[in-house]
Structure 1
Amino acid sequence: MKYSKTIAGITIEICEKAIGEDLVLTLSGGEKPHIGCVVQAVPRPSLSGDGTISVTSSVINLTGHKDEFLCRRLAENRCRETGKVVVCTGGVHMDHITGEQIEELLKNIDRMMTE
């Protein structure tokens, strides 16, 4: 599956592929898409004991990259939704991105997967 949307003037693309029972998400966008981060999200029973699914994540960042904010959110949310192991990798780059654009991306990235 492929999802594409323009958020805060930045075109974002998310691709999802099943690998056996697991999922791989790739995130790209902006002027220089790249791999700046890899997040692996693993589902587990919540420690609260209420039957909900929680997530334990492992993250690998390239030095100086901030892509974890988006990749982690995508991987963890998709992991909770599906109960599957999810890996998300990729990166979004915009020269001179503003704090407002980053906040808008974070607020709207979840909607891309649910719409």
Structure 2
Amino acid sequence: MERHIEEQIIEKELSYTKLIVKIFRIGKDIHMTLQGGEKPHIGCVVLAVPRPSLDGNGTGSSTASVINVTGHKDEILCRWMAEQVAARENAVTVCCGGFHMDHITKEQILEVKKAAEEMIRTLLK
């Protein structure tokens, strides 16, 4: 298997805080952490396993299992990140972590989502 992702830390300044993604290999597998906001934490753990695409065009998809801490919504970011990386890298991928801001606005939530998407797309280029 050709390896694309190597150990790195990606930081993205937002208008009100910072988002950090750390990535490293464990053998052929990939481990990622996501953290940011006023109170970084572990709000979920996502395990994504690559699988053949349902349209029959080879690998290109993944299936995820999620463990959430009650009341946390970090799955939205971590699941998307893990599934994207697992499918693209054809590697079992774990993403865990959390982002928290008190009194966060809808616009700030969208900024976090956009930043996470940009970070993963940059990583997968």
Give your verdict on TM over 0.5.
yes
1:2 aligns with 2:9: yes
SS in 1 for 2:107: helix
User: Is 61-70 or 99-108 further displaced after alignment?
Assistant: 99-108
SS in 2 for 1:95: coil
Counterpart position of 1:72? 79
Detail structure 1 runs of 4+ shifted over 6 Å in the superposition: none
SS in 2 for 1:25: strand
User: Please, which runs of 5 or more residues in structure 1 have no aligned partner?
Assistant: none
1:45 aligns with 2:52: yes
Q: Alpha-carbon deviations, 1:16-58, whole Å to 9, x = none?
A: 0100100000111111100000000000001111224111000
Identity %: 54
User: Please, which runs of 5 or more residues in structure 2 have no aligned partner?
Assistant: 1-7
TM-score by length of 1: 0.94
CA RMSD between the two structures: 1.2
Contact 2:19 2:112 in 1 (8 A): no
Counterpart position of 1:63? 70
Q: How many residues align?
A: 115
Contact 2:50 2:59 in 1 (8 A): no
